[in-house]
Copies of this chain bind each other. A is one copy, B any other.
Amino acid sequence: MDRLILHEDPRSGNCYKIKLTAAMLGLPLELRQYDIMKGDTRRPEFLQSVNANGRIPVLQVGHRFLPESNAACWFLAEGSFLIPEDPFDRADMLRWMFFEQYNREPNVATLRFWLHFVGEANLTEHQRGQIMAKRAGGEAALGLMEEKLAGEAWFVGETVTLADIALYAYTHVCEAGGFRLKDYPAICGWLKRVEALPRYVPMT
């Protein structure tokens, strides 16, 4: 495999997903760090050479650049135990990864970023006006995960897949966004199962 370089900010759960996937697969990953709070990923050199969308993470594979955290996890994990062999299960894994980016990330991760890193006092009026809707959206997403995990140990099939890794990243730190994990006992059990996996690494 080509040399793998992750362009990242260690505070980002989206970056952590890729590091956790690489760790579980024993793949070496070089890190290039950026400070999103200082606008490092909006500078012309980043936009031109790494990602025109101005976002991290970006997985660099040799001379090619792959933005979008879940696409990077897929690239690393193809052909491994983290992607199910059954075609329906494989699509169902992608289903939970799209859910993660559409329903979960913009609510749970954004509130964590706003409340924990930016600080409520520093939010714009427009951002402050969105807090209640994002709280409700985040609780709905966590509620749906709780319902799924009340009956099953993993999101897809009988074992861990990329769906669990993608959903774990921001869920295990959701209290920094004002969500209460004790309201979600099945999620708490699943977080412990993820953390007990061989080669698991914590977010630093």
Seen from chain A, the residues whose Cβ lies within 8 Å of a Cβ on chain B are 52-53, 61, 64, 66-72, 74-75, 78, 87-88, 90-92, 94-95, 97-99, 101-103, 105-106, 126, 129-130, 133, 144, 147-148
**Sample of 11 A–B contacts (CB below 8 Å):** A52-B148, A68-B102, A69-B98, A70-B98, A72-B95, A74-B90, A74-B91, A74-B94, A78-B91, A98-B98, A126-B133
Q: Which residues on the B side are within 8 Å of A94 (C-beta)?
A: 68, 70-71, 74, 94
CB distance from A15 to the nearest CB of B (A): 15
Contact with A91, one of B66, B102, B148 (Cβ below 8 angstroms): B66
Complex CA–CA separation, A172 to B69 (angstroms): 27
Contact with A95, one of B68, B90, B105, B147 (Cβ below 8 angstroms): B68
CB distance from A110 to the nearest CB of B (A): 11
- Taking chain A's interface residues, is the majority helix, strand, or loop, or is none over half, making it mixed? helix
Q: Pick from A91, A126, A130 the residue with the most CB of B within 10 Å.
A: A91
- Nearest residue (CB) in B for A92 is B66
Contact with A66, one of B78, B88, B133, B147 (Cβ below 8 angstroms): B88
Q: Which residues on the B side are within 8 Å of A130 (C-beta)?
A: 130
